[in-house]
């Protein structure tokens, strides 16, 4: 399966796809003075789940009536709203960078960033900056007369006594109804991987006679190989749907730069999605129909035993939150050599362990504490960003796994239902039973064939990293650490893996340096 040439030509440093607003309220002579829009809404406001009183698909809004500010988020807080309480008022925006550029504090949150660098995600309502928070799940922020009140809640369910067969049947029916509740409008574009979550959505849309107009898959960088494109293509062809496959962004570094801004320094992931975003923006501008996108966020965590291990489950059950936090933290890796010494001391492993343990304890009374922790932290803060902050401004985005009936049902299942010979067995069984015509098409394995990157791709990455390092004096990272590795990679063809391995983390720290005090 060959990748398709892009029908557009992204710039080396593409501009933002969307200008995020900021509302700033200050008390002046005892009266509030506001600059910015008095009302703003983001994401999908439609209540597709009739059993709840707020949207379940990513959504957020604020309203200022000259006296009181009220900001709200969706049931799970997947659409982020960032705010800072100022000595003389408050400021709020769906973009961390926009908030910083409005004058928000640039002091680093040591504990929050310590967790992020060792797990790949922020927890709770943390950001990389101490004084900037996000509105919690099912959140309501109220500001009036200089006083702020912030409230939110997590979904709480009880375990249900399903058998494996009855649970599979219930899953099929609930998911079918969740997709039915989410109507297509205009042209439907479905990001289709070789895995389960997007395939389940794709096949259900086809079964309901609402097949997507186009299925899109983003492949790996040059010289890398996965089964994603092949399996996605097989499914699309079997369903008679047009399938397009694009390569990941080339060059990579500008895509990394843009993604750090677009994802609010919440992750080192998602840079490869810039190709998909460019395609969606091209389609939005080049044809008159509105765009609808269906996204599989949370499907893996809810439907499988992914990221859940017997050891983690045991430690949670015993209430041993700090030992559990230690297990969930990655090893120190490059951090001691990469970070400036004083910063490494501040962002210590102990600080990360204590902060992570606090967040783990927050979920201890849930029916499935580990699943709840993952959903409201890694899923919400990382994989929840594509449908909200990235694709949300370009299309109507539906997330069927966040339907209240589907979400609550999956969160109520005993772990024994999800555990099988593989961690995906429960979801595999449901998909194959619901759509037997496609049961013979394998799911893509997660194995990646890593050969030496194409020389031109490799040299562009080294060139761009070096230029960025020379142009901006980073205050978080030791330049010598990177210079030594970049220099060696230019003369040692076998050393490129070291540079590629640290490229995303290096980008994160270099870009973060630009916004820190």
Total Cβ atoms within 10 A of residue 409: 21
Q: What is the dihedral of CA 460, 463, 467, 470, to 10 degrees?
A: 150
Shared-domain flag, residues 85 and 193? no
Shared-domain flag, residues 267 and 140? no
pLDDT per residue of the chain (517 residues) written in tens, 0 to 9: 556 655 544 444 445 557 899 999 999 999 999 999 999 999 999 999 999 999 999 999 999 999 999 999 999 999 999 999 999 999 999 999 999 999 999 999 999 999 999 999 999 999 999 999 999 999 999 999 999 999 999 999 998 889 999 999 999 999 999 999 999 999 999 999 999 999 999 999 999 999 999 999 998 876 566 789 999 999 999 999 999 999 899 899 999 999 999 999 999 999 999 999 999 999 999 999 999 999 999 999 999 888 778 889 899 999 999 999 999 999 999 999 999 999 999 999 999 999 999 999 999 999 889 999 999 999 999 999 999 999 999 999 999 999 999 999 999 998 889 888 888 999 999 999 999 999 999 999 876 555 555 778 888 999 999 999 999 889 999 999 999 999 999 888 778 888 888 999 999 999 999 999 6
The confidence score (pLDDT) of residue 10 equals 47
Shared-domain flag, residues 292 and 206? yes
> Is 48 contained in some domain?
yes
Shared-domain flag, residues 433 and 460? no
- Each residue of 374-385: pLDDT tens digit? 999 999 999 999
Contacts of 133 (CB under 8 A, 6+ apart): 82, 83, 84, 125, 126, 127, 150
Shared-domain flag, residues 77 and 186? no
Helix (H, G, I), strand (E, B) or coil at 244: strand
Shared-domain flag, residues 138 and 216? no
> Is 317 contained in some domain?
no
The confidence score (pLDDT) of residue 450 equals 55
Q: How far apart are CA 422 and CA 141, in angstroms?
A: 42
Provide φ and ψ at 35, rounded to 5°. Answer: -125, 135
Q: How far apart are CA 197 and CA 303, in angstroms?
A: 9
- Each residue of 311-363: pLDDT tens digit? 898 999 999 999 999 999 999 999 999 999 999 999 999 999 999 999 999 99
- Each residue of 27-46: pLDDT tens digit? 999 999 999 999 999 999 99
Shared-domain flag, residues 433 and 389? yes
**pTM score, whole prediction:** 0.95
Shared-domain flag, residues 440 and 481? no
CB 398 within 8 A of CB 389: no
- Of 408, 428, 447, the domain-final residue: 447
- Domain of residue 104 covers 23-151
> Is 340 contained in some domain?
no
- Of 121, 151, 181, the domain-final residue: 151
Reading the block at residue 400, the tokens are: 């069927």
Phi-psi region for residue 166, left (φ > 0), alpha (ψ -120 to 50) or beta? Answer: alpha
Helix (H, G, I), strand (E, B) or coil at 43: strand
> What are the C-alpha distances in Å from 235 to residues 175, 270, 440?
19, 24, 10
Q: How far apart are CA 424 and CA 199, in angstroms?
A: 13
Reading the block at residue 513, the tokens are: 């340096």
Contacts of 165 (CB under 8 A, 6+ apart): none
Shared-domain flag, residues 78 and 211? no
- Of 125, 151, 177, the domain-final residue: 151
Shared-domain flag, residues 39 and 55? yes
The confidence score (pLDDT) of residue 389 equals 96
Q: What is the CATH number of the domain that holds 238?
A: 3.40.50.620
Shared-domain flag, residues 147 and 110? yes
CB 517 within 8 A of CB 475: no
Shared-domain flag, residues 508 and 403? no
How many folded domains does the chain comprise?
A: 3
Provide φ and ψ at 495, rounded to 5°. Answer: -95, -5
Closest CA to 391 of 508, 274, 268, 515: 274
């Amino acid at each position: 399966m060959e990748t398709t040439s892009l029908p557009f030509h992204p710039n080396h440093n593409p501009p933002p796809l969307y200008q995020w607003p900021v509302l700033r309220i200050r008390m002046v002579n005892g009266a509030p003075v506001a600059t910015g829009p008095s009302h703003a809404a983001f994401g999908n406001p439609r209540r597709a789940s009739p059993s709840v009183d707020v949207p379940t698909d990513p959504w957020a809004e604020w309203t200022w009536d000259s006296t009181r500010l009220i900001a709200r988020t969706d049931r799970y807080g997947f659409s982020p709203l960032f705010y800072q309480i100022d000595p003389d008022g408050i400021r709020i925006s769906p973009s961390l960078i926009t908030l910083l550029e409005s004058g928000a504090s640039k002091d680093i949150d040591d504990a929050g960033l310590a967790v992020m660098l060792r797990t790949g995600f922020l927890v709770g309502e943390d950001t990389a900056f101490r004084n900037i928070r996000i509105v919690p799940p099912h959140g309501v922020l109220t500001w009036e007369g200089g006083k702020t009140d912030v409230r939110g809640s997590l979904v709480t369910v009880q375990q249900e006594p399903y058998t494996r067969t009855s649970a599979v049947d219930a899953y099929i029916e609930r998911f079918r109804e969740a997709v039915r509740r989410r109507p297509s409008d205009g042209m439907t574009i479905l990001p289709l991987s070789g895995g389960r979550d997007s395939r389940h959505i794709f096949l259900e849309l086809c079964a309901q006679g609402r097949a997507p107009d186009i299925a899109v898959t983003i492949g790996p960088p040059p010289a890398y190989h996965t089964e994603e494109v092949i399996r996605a293509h097989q499914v699309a062809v079997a369903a008679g749907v047009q399938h397009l496959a694009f390569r990941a962004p080339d060059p990579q570094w500008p895509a990394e730069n843009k993604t750090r801004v677009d994802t609010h320094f919440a992750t080192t992931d998602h840079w490869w999605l810039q190709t998909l975003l460019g395609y969606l923006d091209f389609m939005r501008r080049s044809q008159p129909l509105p765009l609808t996108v269906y996204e599989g966020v949370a499907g893996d965590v809810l439907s499988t035993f992914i990221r859940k291990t017997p050891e983690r489950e045991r430690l949670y059950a015993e209430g041993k939150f700090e030992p559990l936090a230690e297990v969930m933290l990655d090893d120190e890796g490059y951090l001691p050599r990469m970070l400036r010494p004083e910063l490494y001391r501040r962002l210590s492993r102990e600080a990360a362990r204590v902060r992570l343990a606090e967040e783990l304890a927050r979920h201890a009374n849930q029916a499935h504490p580990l699943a709840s922790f993952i959903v409201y932290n890694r899923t919400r803060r990382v994989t929840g960003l594509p449908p909200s902050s990235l694709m949300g401004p370009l299309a109507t985005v539906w997330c069927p796994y966040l339907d209240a009936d589907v979400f609550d049902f999956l969160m109520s299942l005993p772990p024994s239902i999800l555990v099988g010979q593989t961690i995906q067995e429960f979801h595999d069984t449901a998909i194959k039973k619901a759509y037997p015509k496609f049961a013979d098409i394998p799911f893509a394995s997660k194995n990646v064939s890593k050969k030496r990157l194409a020389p031109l791709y490799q040299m562009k990455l080294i060139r761009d990293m070096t230029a960025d390092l020379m142009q901006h004096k980073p205050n978080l990272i030791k330049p010598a650490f990177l210079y030594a590795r970049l220099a060696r990679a230019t003369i040692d063809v076998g050393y490129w893996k070291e540079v590629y391995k640290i490229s995303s983390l290096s980008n994160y720290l270099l870009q973060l340096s630009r916004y820190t005090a």
